[in-house]
Structures are given as structure tokens and as C-alpha cells.
A = this chain, B = another copy of it.
């Protein structure tokens, strides 16, 4: 069996599989699903090729669902925190998170123009799935987006409610696919094909073992800034170029979802979310104007957070949070690189083309042997 740290389920090489060495210890799947109870599902929509006909395609998009609790407990709120490093994007549900420190239901990520349907369809799914358990209640779920209009007929609105529900219902734990799948289907980073990526870190605190899991939908970065483990390799003229048949609006963004089973309070999860900034910085990102760099962190540790009686929760004190900060930085960096390395070139609308990050070039730049 191919180890999960080395390859994705479909066999694509991941960053560590390519030989890159990162600090920190990952969980068994090196994925957000290393956090117990968290699962991920995709709906990938790829049809057509050739010239863009709005409403017809070509289509290169999809939906990702990150399900933060086992389905049987899906309506139980979790503590959460949010940070906008650069707000040129959308992530619904954030006012509620900022106000109450809580969220519930699956988190979805899709393309910019389908973020609304992802939000509403998640409620639609909850109404049906929860049935009697969801009575006269209301929901403000998290749905986020990055822009895939360079490859995808984004103004064709090809994501339908059924795709959203399909992604939610496809959610599984264990090893998860990366690259051009789900919401990440049509994304690119530093002029290379990117999209969905994940990583995790394990750490101990006060005699208990905890996991930080990170999932990114990565779609940002200027070629010349691309940095891998400290080496800025993007300026190499030998690297393959994008082929831009129609205008590239260069609307870069990254959604980062951080999950942990360590107990944190809402204000602390906001702190964790903010540290994703450093993981992005390590790869050469600097949150350009066009970027929607929106980060969400949630903890699965606390339950019974609702009204009716005094509640009690545990938490790691702020004074001991640095190890968790570092885990977020490390796992964010690695998740972004996974999204690029476990990927392949893609041609989309109008023949627009995004090359894959050449594995050999990375190895050469870092002096890695086969």
C-alpha cells in the first residue's frame, strides 16, 4: 500500500513524496482528516473544451465540503475563529463566528460566483438530513470561494445545489485527494496548476496528543515570488509558462481551513487562523490586492455549547499556544505545496493553459536526489 504521506489516493506524488522535508510531525494521513471526526468530500465538474460559451462551458470547477463533525453530530456547534488577511473574497457565516465564536454544519468551498448557492444548498441539505432535529431553526453556514474564471466558464453558474449536496455526502475521513479536485478544480498558484491541498501536525500538550489539520484551496501568487523551502525558484526562465488565450484577471486568493481537536476558545481560534499568513508568506505569497485570503479555524473539542444551562469548557492557555501556532504555519506551507505538487497541467476555456509545477525543477533547485 502506498503511504498516505507520499501519494494521494489516486497516486499523485505529494510534497514529501517528492522528497521535500518539513519540520514537525504529521498525522497518519498528513491531512485535515487526521483530526478525528473531520471528513472531506468533493464534487468535481469538468466538461467540454474549446472556446468559451457562457452557460455551456468549458467547465472546470467543483465544490469541496469540509465536514467538521461526524454526521450524527453535525448540528452541534463548534468554537471557531476567522481572520481576513486580505478581504477580496467571500466567506459567509463570518459575522456569526465573530459575534458568537461558533459555527455549525459543513464548510463548503467553490468558485467565486457559486458561493451563494453553496451556502444555501448546505442549509437545504441540513433541513433534509436533520429533519426533526432541525425544527424552526436557522443556519448561517460557512461557504467560501476562490476565482477559477481563467479556466472555467465561471459566469455559466454550473454549480448546482446537487453538486453541493454531493460533495457533502461524499465526505470521508482518511487519505484525501489533492490537486484539481472539488472546489480546487480550476485553480492556480504562481502560474502553476494548484487547487486543493492538505497537511497536518501532531503535538503534545499537558500529557495529551493533539492534531492541527489544514486544508487549503490555493489560487494565489505571482510566478517570480514562488518559494519552496526558502528557495525562490519562480524566476527561473526554464519553467513552463501559462498560455493565456484570453485575459487573465489574476484574481488570486486562498481559503485556509484549520481544524484541531485541541480545546481552544473562540479568541484563540482567531489567533490560530491569523498564523496561516506566515505559511502563505513562506511560499512567496504576499496577499496582493486581488486576493481573498480568508482563514477559518475550528476546534472539535468542545460540545454542548448551546443555551439552557451553564456550560464548562477546557482550553489550552494562551501562554502555551506557540507550538500550535508553529503547527499552523508548517501545515499551511505544506498544504499549499501539496496542492501544486500533487497536480497536473490543465487546459480550460478558450485554450487557456496552466502548466503543472515540474517536479524535476523543484528537486534540482533544492538539490534533492531521486
Residues of A within 8 A of B (CB): 54, 84-102, 112-121, 123-124, 127, 135-140, 143, 147, 149, 154-155, 157, 205-206, 208, 227, 230-232, 246-249, 251, 263, 265-267, 271, 274-275, 277-278, 281-282, 285-290, 292, 294, 305-322, 325-326, 329
Among B85, B112, B138, B230, contact of A147 (Cβ-Cβ < 8 Å): B138
A305 touches B322 (CB 8 A): no
20 sample A-B contacts, Cβ–Cβ < 8 Å, listed by A number? A87-B95, A87-B96, A90-B93, A92-B92, A101-B265, A115-B120, A116-B116, A117-B117, A117-B120, A119-B119, A206-B309, A265-B267, A281-B281, A281-B282, A306-B317, A308-B317, A309-B317, A311-B315, A311-B316, A313-B313
What number of copies of this chain does the assembly contain? 4
Given the known interface contacts A84-B98, A265-B266, A310-B314, the answer about A140 and B289 at a Cβ–Cβ threshold of 8 Å is no
B94 touches A95 (CB 8 A): yes
Closest to A247 in B: B136
Among B121, B136, B266, B318, contact of A102 (Cβ-Cβ < 8 Å): B318
A138 touches B249 (CB 8 A): yes
In the complex, the 8 A-B pairs of residues with the closest C-beta atoms, listed nearest first: A307-B319, A87-B99, A116-B116, A87-B95, A116-B120, A116-B119, A230-B230, A281-B281
